[in-house]
Amino acid sequence: MDTMLEIAKRVDDFMMERSPVHDTMRRLALAFADLGVPFAIAGAMAANAHGHRRTTADVDVLVRREDLARFKDRWIGRGWVDLFEGSKGFRDTLNGVKVDVLIVGDYPGDGRPKPVSFPAPESVRDVQHASVPYVSLLALLELKIASGMTAAHRLQDLADAIQLIRVNALPRDYSGQLNPFVRAKFDELWQAAQVSDDY
């Protein structure tokens, strides 16, 4: 069992962006860039890039199915291994960090068809983060809200959305930029984000 000091050091390393997860993300970005294919970092690492600071144990990457196949043809067995035979996801053998893959055109949350799907990475890249292409705040919110709305086990996505609204001081009318499927939920989460935890 880890001591409190070891846990605190891991959290500190993560917040200082020198964790194994950050190293895996940077290695992954270089590997995809080497292939010349579009991709974007999503999930908790994108939330961190947009101001919601929290730790995570894996990296989510948004990519087309055919580009994932190209990545695996080139890199599996060369610093990366499949999680299991036929899996989308894979693991960084250097850091032991898992990479979850989000396929363009698939659906967040319960995986069932809905008005929100995983978009083409080049259409939602955040231009402010040039070194690593992250999913934009707008796209990240749409995906997290749609996920949390349709999958009961994905409540962390809704909690992340609340924190992203709060730390970015998003106005209530920001919902007008979002897919209509998630607008009412955004409004509910926006109201929750206005509540202070100070007693």
- And the tokens for 83? 């999680």
Distance CA 119, CA 175 (A): 18
Note whether residue 148 is domain-resident.
yes
164 within a domain of the structure (yes/no) = yes
Q: In this structure, what are the phi and psi dihedrals at residue 176, rounded to the nearest 5 degrees?
A: -65, -20
CATH number of the domain within which 39 lies: 3.30.460.40
Residue 198 belongs to some domain of the structure:
no
Whether residue 199 is contained in a domain is answered as no
101-120 pLDDT, tens digit per residue, is 999 999 999 999 999 999 99
Whole-angstrom Cα distance, residue 65 to residue 46? 21
Two tokens at 111?
């995986």
61 belongs to a structural domain: yes
Tell me the longest C-alpha to C-alpha distance in the chain.
Answer: 55
Task: Output the pLDDT for position 199.
Answer: 55
Write the burial class of residue 165 (CB in 10 Å: 0-12 exposed, 13-18 middle, 19+ buried): buried
Q: Are 78 and 31 in contact (CB under 8 A)?
A: no
pTM: 0.93
Domain count, the chain: 1
The confidence score (pLDDT) of residue 129 equals: 65
Helix (H, G, I), strand (E, B) or coil at 197: coil
Among 180, 137, 177, residue whose Cα is nearest residue 160: 137
Low-confidence ranges of the chain (pLDDT < 70): 127-130, 198-199
Residue ranges making up the domain that contains 49: 4-193
pLDDT at 182: 98
